[in-house]
């Protein structure tokens, strides 16, 4: 059951040329690939910024609290991706909960202003304009963040669990404050968890197509959407295969970089039985 084989056979079957790969690198497609990478990278950074404090809080909690928090982080992972995306739509769509709450706020403020005969000044604008939260790149990032952030928290939490608390104490004792300790002691020591988290978030983000499909607008599609279109509607299978192979190549490059890095890391810092 070697997957490499299957895909190879398809390439042989259809074409020996690199035409499809070249096509992937021109015009619209390269822009989309670049944009997908950018969106995934931003999502990864946002996940990282949230995951570190949350993982920190969990790992320092009492044992009881810890298991409650961990289960709460894991539980959404067992909920269907589609359902979670859908539940997010219900909140952020034009007639969703955020906008209706804002509209309610707007109306009550306006009524209040009317009451004081200030309505003529139109301080609040002529009418309520709903925020456009859906169908843009930010909504995709929000969706991806919402779906994949547990994958960032868990590996960081796992390394923090193994992290020797005495190192923090030693650092404060030697005169470093919280911020210096964070950058000079904590970050270098939890970096294996951070890299795992980055890979676990970045790769699925890059290959996602449901979230940009449901949350994104007309001009905000990612590689996944183009691949899907090649197979489901445009019927250009070889090109779709070429694109998905580019995706696999990116994945493999990231994984091998990480592999080399982790080898270096263990060689440098964690030799022996520490």
Partner 1 sequence: MKKSLFYSPIDYARNKYLKYITIIFLITLYLPILNLIIFSFNDSKRNILWRGFTTKYYNKVFENDVLFSAFLNSLTIATISTIISTILGLTTAITLWKFNFYLKKYYDIALLFPIIIPEICMGISMLVFFNFIHWPNFEIWPLTLSNIIIAHVSFTFPFIAIIIRSRLTILNNDTLEAGLDLGANNIQIIRLIILPFVKPAITASFLLAFTLSLDDFVITFFTSGPNSITLPVKIYSMVRFGITPEINAVSTLLILILIFCTFFLIRYLSKNNKEV
Partner 2 sequence: MSDKKFCIELKNLTKRFENTLAVDDVSFNVEENEFFTILGPSGCGKSTILRLIAGLEVQDQGEIIINGIDCSKMPANERPVNMVFQSYALFPHLNIKDNIEFGLKIKKIDEIEIKKRVDEILDLIKMRSYINKYPSELSGGQRQRVALARAIVNKPKIVLLDEPLSALDANLRIDMQRELVNIQRNLEMTFMLVTHDQDEALSISSKIAIMENGKVIEANTATNMYEYPSKKFSAEFLGRINIIDGYISNNDNQKIFKSEIFGDINLQNDIDIPQDAVLGIRPEKIIIERSSKNLENRIKTKGTVIDWTYYGDMSYITIELNNKKKIYIHVQNIHRNTLQELKIGKTLRASFDINDLIILEK
CB 201 within 8 A of CB 152: yes
Q: Residue 7: count other Cβ atoms within 10 Å of its Cβ.
A: 14
CB 229 within 8 A of CB 209: no
CB 205 within 8 A of CB 44: yes
Beta strands in the chain (DSSP E): none
Residue with smaller CB distance to partner 1, 31 or 75:
75
Query: Is residue 53 a contact point for partner 1 (CB under 8 A)?
Result: yes
Query: Is residue 210 a contact point for partner 1 (CB under 8 A)?
Result: yes
The interface region with partner 1, picked from 115-123, 125-133, 200-208, 266-274 by CB under 8 A, is: 200-208
Interaction partner, residue 206 (partner 1, partner 2, none; CB < 5-8 Å by kind): partner 1
Task: Give the span between the Cα atoms of 164 and 220, in whole angstroms.
Answer: 44
Task: Give the span between the Cα atoms of 66 and 46, in whole angstroms.
Answer: 23
Query: Is residue 160 a contact point for partner 2 (CB under 8 A)?
Result: no
Query: Is residue 87 a contact point for partner 1 (CB under 8 A)?
Result: yes
Q: Residue 249: count other Cβ atoms within 10 Å of its Cβ.
A: 11
- The number of CA neighbours under 13 Å toward the Cβ of 7 is 11
Residue with smaller CB distance to partner 2, 122 or 161:
161
Query: Is residue 65 a contact point for partner 2 (CB under 8 A)?
Result: no
Beta carbon of residue 64, minimum distance to partner 2 (angstroms, whole number): 13
Residue with smaller CB distance to partner 2, 19 or 263:
263
Binder of partner 1 out of 26, 28, 63, 95 (CB under 8 A): 95
Query: Is residue 12 a contact point for partner 2 (CB under 8 A)?
Result: no
Query: Is residue 121 a contact point for partner 1 (CB under 8 A)?
Result: no
177: left (phi over 0), alpha (psi -120 to 50) or beta: beta
21: exposed, middle or buried (C-beta count within 10 Å: 0-12, 13-18, 19+)?
Answer: middle
The interface region with partner 2, picked from 38-46, 68-76, 183-191, 199-207 by CB under 8 A, is: 183-191
Residue with smaller CB distance to partner 1, 81 or 119:
81
If residue 83 lies in a helix (H) or strand (E), which one and from where to where? helix 81-92
Binder of partner 1 out of 19, 30, 38, 86 (CB under 8 A): 86
Q: Which residues bind partner 2 (CB under 8 A)?
A: 164, 166-167, 169-177, 180, 184-185, 188-189, 268-274
């Amino acid at each position: 059951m070697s997957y490499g084989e299957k895909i190879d056979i398809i390439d042989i079957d259809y074409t020996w040329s690199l035409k499809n790969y070249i096509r992937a690198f021109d015009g619209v497609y390269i822009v989309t690939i670049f944009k997908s990478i950018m969106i995934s990278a931003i999502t990864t950074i946002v996940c990282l910024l949230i995951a570190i404090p949350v993982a920190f809080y969990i790992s320092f909690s009492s044992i009881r609290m810890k298991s409650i928090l961990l289960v709460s982080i894991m539980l959404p992972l067992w909920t269907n991706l589609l359902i979670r995306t859908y539940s997010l739509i219900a909140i952020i769509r034009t007639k969703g909960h955020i906008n209706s709450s804002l509209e309610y706020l707007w109306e009550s403020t306006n009524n209040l202003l009317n009451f004081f005969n200030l309505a003529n000044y139109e301080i609040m604008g002529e009418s309520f304009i709903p925020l456009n939260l859906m169908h843009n790149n930010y909504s995709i990032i929000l969706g991806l963040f919402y779906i994949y952030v547990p994958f960032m928290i868990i590996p960081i939490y796992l390394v923090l669990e193994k992290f020797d608390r005495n190192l923090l104490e030693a650092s404060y004792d030697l005169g470093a404050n919280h911020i210096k300790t964070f950058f000079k002691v904590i970050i270098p020591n939890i970096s294996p968890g951070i890299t795992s988290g980055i890979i676990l978030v970045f790769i699925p983000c890059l290959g996602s197509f449901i979230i940009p499909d449901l949350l994104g607008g007309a001009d905000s599609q990612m590689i996944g959407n183009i691949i899907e279109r090649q197979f489901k509607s445009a019927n250009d299978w070889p090109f779709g295969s070429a694109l998905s192979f580019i995706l696999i190549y990116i994945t493999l490059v990231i994984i091998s970089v990480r592999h080399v890095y982790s080898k270096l890391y263990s060689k440098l810092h964690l030799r022996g039985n520490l």
